[in-house]
Amino acid sequence: MIGVSDIWEAKKRIGGYVHRTPLIGSESIGEIAGAPVFFKCENLQKTGSFKTRGAFNRILSLTKEERSKGVCCYSSGNHAQAVCYAAKILGIDAYVYMPETATPSKVEACRSYGGRITQYGKTGADVYPAAKAFAEKNGIFYVDPVEDPYIMAGQGTAGLEIMEAIPDADTVYVQIGGGGLMTGVATAVKSLSPSVRIIGVEPENMNCMSASLEAGRITKIERRCSIADGLAGDAPGPLAFEGVSRYVDEVITVSDEEIGRATLLLMQRAKMVTEPSGACALAGLLSGKAVKGKKNVCMISGGNVNDAVLAELLSR
């Protein structure tokens, strides 16, 4: 498990490479929610998501010899873009495996950062083994999207920034996909202010963390589709499960309809374009399934929305 000291070290390490993203309030959304609401805008982070924090922290921590061989990862979108961008800035090669079903705009974004892209298989279950095999065969460091303490510590720097900006925040909502962002942010926030309530939010169709917490052990669920495709996963990893179990007060689930409404609301009232995964935390706050605080912070985790999804939401 990581500690807050790891997150402070990550903050020093990546400070010159990532944005300190704004934390803004919205009176109109606060009126709808019935309580003050603030947004941590990682949709405005470099590459459009929080993933850049973890990618830089992991790659900057490698030895010169490891960097000389490049890095490898598998991802359908945001993690791949973050790794490719960090590799470009640091002058090393990035080998990325993406499913054949990956959004074309995200594939092209990775190529624009200089990533060497291989598209393979339909799902993560197909792509992950291929990426790992390639990395092992060629002696290339594999950058895991979640189950890596350096990745989690990098993501946790967003939590430090939340508490620096609003030290009297009392409830923080964070979406859960693999659980790396949730673990990092919760570790940072709880270490600085143990009384803050941390609420995890998952799509109903991708609720592997809440299912695991309910069972008291890591539990694999059947993969289903969700509008919040960036939060896909069928089982949490051991580090993420331990982190969420230790630091998160409650995990709730929201429907695709609730996520879609939150995505539109952010565009209409806060003038922020987010991907549905990025709006999931706000959907959790608006759902009323968790007790609101006097000052609520919602993580906006990314803004790389699929054009087709955006068009469908706007047509509603």
Catalytic residue IDs = 51, 301
State the Cα–Cα distance between residues 241 and 208, nearest whole angstrom. 10
Strand partners, 297: 38, 172
Residues 6+ positions from 259 with CB-CB distance below 8 Å: 203, 226, 227, 228, 276, 279, 280, 283
Q: Which candidate, 54, 298, 49, places its Cα nearest to that of 198?
A: 298
State the Cα–Cα distance between residues 156 and 153, nearest whole angstrom. 5
* Measured CA distances, 160 to 58, 137, 244 (Å): 18, 38, 17
State the Cα–Cα distance between residues 19 and 130, nearest whole angstrom. 33
Q: Which candidate, 178, 174, 177, places its Cα nearest to that of 186?
A: 174
Q: Is the dihedral of CA 260, 39, 275, 98 positive or negative?
A: negative
The terminus-to-terminus CA distance of the chain in angstroms comes to: 43
Could you tell me the two tokens for 305? Answer: 């929305």
State the Cα–Cα distance between residues 171 and 298, nearest whole angstrom. 9
Could you tell me the two tokens for 21? Answer: 């993203």
